[in-house]
């Protein structure tokens, strides 16, 4: 998996937001060409209408375009949008994510925004990307992919037993990252299991970030 590129950009009120402030949540990061155009309006409105469904997966929706914060403010007010829109007027973030490039319209070539969406996991890894997005049906596709990924995480976690974790920690102290990799499990869920086992007195931490099974 590719790590998401961090950035800091202003919202419609000129408040700065950085990607890493959303660590621990799923992130739907989408790039669109221009406020108040037909396709971009449809996409933003559909994301807003489905926000409750994304909230169930603890996902935040972030839209980025090269429009100004003032333009975003008008766009949000006009269409009653409830998602976060950020301004990338110098298109540096657009370029970093490959969402800025050469386009063609009526035979003329120019540089502009390539409509794109990226699904980023709670550890800030890009787990899915869509380029040259067609707006119709796209929001539902993103939501379905998010649901699928969450189900995969749940299935992995269910397969991990307390006994398997304790067995591994009998040999030598390990970090949660090591355990997650060895058990092919989600790191956040391993961390929860570690906290539970530590509270129950079944494991201990001989040094920072390392855990081992207590001798019986």
**Catalytic residue positions?**
40
Buried/exposed 92-119: b ≥16 CB within 10 Å, e otherwise:
ebbeebebbeeeeeeeeeeebbbbbbbb
> Where in 88-190 does DSSP place strands (E)?
100-105, 108-113, 116-120, 125-130
Sign (positive/negative) of CA torsion 185, 30, 73, 48? negative
Measured N-to-C along each axis, helices 187-199 and 176-183 cross at an angle, to the nearest 10 degrees, of: 120
């Amino acid at each position: 998996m590719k790590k998401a590129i961090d950035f800091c950009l202003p919202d419609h009120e000129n408040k700065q937001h950085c990607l890493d402030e959303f660590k621990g949540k799923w992130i739907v990061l989408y790039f669109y060409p221009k406020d108040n155009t037909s396709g971009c309006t449809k996409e933003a409105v559909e994301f807003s209408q489905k926000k409750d469904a994304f909230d169930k997966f603890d996902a935040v929706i972030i839209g980025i375009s090269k429009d100004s914060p003032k333009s975003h403010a008008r766009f949000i007010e006009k269409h009653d949008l409830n998602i976060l829109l950020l301004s990338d007027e110098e298109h540096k973030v657009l370029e970093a994510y490959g969402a800025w490039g050469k386009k063609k319209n009526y035979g003329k070539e120019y540089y502009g925004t390539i409509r794109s969406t990226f699904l980023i996991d709670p550890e800030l890894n890009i787990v899915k990307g869509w380029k040259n997005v067609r707006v119709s049906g796209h929001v539902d596709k993103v939501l379905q992919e998010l649901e699928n990924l969450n189900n995969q995480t749940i299935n992995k976690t269910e397969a991990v037993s307390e006994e398997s974790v304790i067995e591994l920690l009998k040999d030598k102290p390990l970090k949660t990252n090591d355990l997650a990799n060895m058990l092919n499990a989600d790191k956040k869920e391993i961390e929860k299991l570690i906290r539970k086992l530590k509270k129950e007195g079944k494991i201990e931490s001989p040094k920072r970030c390392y855990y081992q099974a207590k001798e019986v």
